[in-house]
Amino acid sequence: MKRVTTNAMGEYVTNDVVEPSATLSYIGKEDAAGDWYIQSVDTTSGTSVRFATEANNPTYTTYATAWADRATLTYGTYGSAF
């Protein structure tokens, strides 16, 4: 998986967005090569943005399986997820 930078993020497109609660959103993105990441945005106390990728979820090798289990993935900061 390539390291995602601010330039590389432009290569990703949004596939799905869900808001399971008033304070939590998931945004699923994928590039043409099938690399994926999911953002978790939590506004419970402030705004926290965390990332799930194949790097911190190595058993999820496709976007479809990762998206299906988005609520139970491991999320981390940019530095730990990429």
Q: Looking at the predicted structure, is the pLDDT value of residue 5 above 80?
A: no
User: What pLDDT does 11 receive?
Assistant: 87
* pLDDT per position as a tens digit, 19-69: 999 999 999 999 989 999 999 999 999 999 999 999 999 999 999 999 999
Q: Looking at the predicted structure, is the pLDDT value of residue 10 above 90?
A: no
Q: Which pTM does this prediction carry?
A: 0.86
Burial of 45: CB neighbours in 10 Å, binned 0-12, 13-18, 19+: exposed
User: What pLDDT does 67 receive?
Assistant: 98
User: What pLDDT does 15 receive?
Assistant: 96
* Alpha-carbon gap, residue 63 to 33, rounded angstroms: 11
Q: Looking at the predicted structure, is the pLDDT value of residue 6 above 90?
A: no
